[in-house]
Chains A and B, each alone.
Chain A
Amino acid sequence: MEGGCERWENMTSRSAMVVHINGKNREIPEDLSVKGLLEWLELNPALVVVELNREILDRERYAEIDLSENDVLELVHFVGGG
């Protein structure tokens, strides 16, 4: 995958909306489902847990839930730790 920063820079404002992901404001395409967002971010849904507006989402629902302006998302995964 190319450097992750490019996708944020290549956004056009015409079809974009602002959401908060992992503590930062991000522009993402409008009309994305959660599943669509993960695909756009090139993340494997099986390895990611999504918290949307403080609610942990079931993986089965990722395709059905659409994102809205100002949604607050936490995308987390397992990392090494003691």
Chain B
Amino acid sequence: MDTPLTIADREFSSRLIVGTGKYKDNPTMVDAIRATGTEMVTVAVRRIDLDRTKEEGILYHLDPEEFLLLPNTAGCYSAEDAIRYARLARAAGFTEWLKLEIIGDQETLLPDTHATVEAAKILVDEGFKVMAYTNDDLISALRLEDVGCVAVMPLASPIGSGLGIVNPYYIREIKRRLDVPVIVDAGVGTASDACVTMEQGVDGVLMNTAIAEADDPVAMGEAMRLAIQAGRLAYLAGRMPSREIAVPSSPLQGMLG
């Protein structure tokens, strides 16, 4: 059996964190999120559109009693921006939890790890519980842990790409070396990707597009819930070694003459 996922001072029985963007409508989003069994969802901070007819905000659909809301700094390209958004998010949600994300390139949406470490240091000092999105680079991961992030979140592959985990070797190394939880964030496309990711031994997975852009997001949410469990159990079970020669599964003795 598994132990809970512990991040900072809080325990979670689900190892899946889900984003709330890109769904075709709010009821689908809520049903899909519930199907995943997640206990934490990300939200973004944006200007209120004052020229449109009032529509229900996302908090109308997501009960903060049911899910821990994790504000992100999505859309930020500098430490200064991310810090500004973080402070707004804290004021909006009465929460210290934060997913720090600073992008360095608009085309690939790869993180600016230098700016992320800089911003993380400042935000940790201000009392935020920073979960930092980064790439699969061990050195950046170590630096983020050094400055006090409560979790480090290396990508499997670029945001929205659905490519799955492109560098399992580096992800395993990051997990081996860090003490804080390692949660793979970005790039998961389907259930097998989530399963393979958990088999690397990481503590959890964050995904958004894989569920939101599935033909049937609710079914995919359920698939992901199972995949995360299967991958985690397989990891805890200790897999057989792989090898380049065959070894028979049935005895060689006792064959008929």
Q: Does B72 contact A (CB under 8 A)?
A: yes
Q: CB-defined interface of A33-57 with B at 8 Å, one 1/0 digit per residue?
A: 0000000011100011101000010
How many chain B residues touch A (CB < 8 A): the figure is 36
Does the CB pair A76–B54 fall under 8 Å?
no
Q: Which partner residue on chain B sits nearest A46 by CB separation? A: B59
Does the CB pair A22–B209 fall under 8 Å?
no
Nearest-Cβ distance from residue B76 to partner chain A, whole angstroms:
12
Given the known interface contacts A76-B45, A76-B48, A82-B21, the answer about A42 and B54 at a Cβ–Cβ threshold of 8 Å is yes
Q: Which partner residue on chain A sits nearest B44 by CB separation? A: A81
Query: B54 — which chain A residues lie within 8 A by C-beta?
Result: 1, 4, 42
Does the CB pair A82–B72 fall under 8 Å?
yes
* Measured CA separation A22–B88 after assembly (Å): 14
Query: B57 — which chain A residues lie within 8 A by C-beta?
Result: 47, 77-79
Query: A78 — which chain B residues lie within 8 A by C-beta?
Result: 43-45, 57-59, 69, 71, 89, 92-93
Size category of the A interface is 20 to 34
Q: CB-defined interface of B64-93 with A at 8 Å, one 1/0 digit per residue?
A: 000001011010000000000001110111
Q: Does B229 contact A (CB under 8 A)?
A: no
Listed in ascending order, the chain B residues whose CB lies under 8 Å from chain A are 19-23, 29, 42-54, 57-59, 69, 71-72, 74, 87-89, 91-93, 159, 186, 208-209
Identify the 8 closest CB pairs spanning chains A and B, nearest first.
Answer: A81-B44, A82-B19, A82-B208, A80-B20, A78-B43, A49-B92, A22-B47, A81-B21
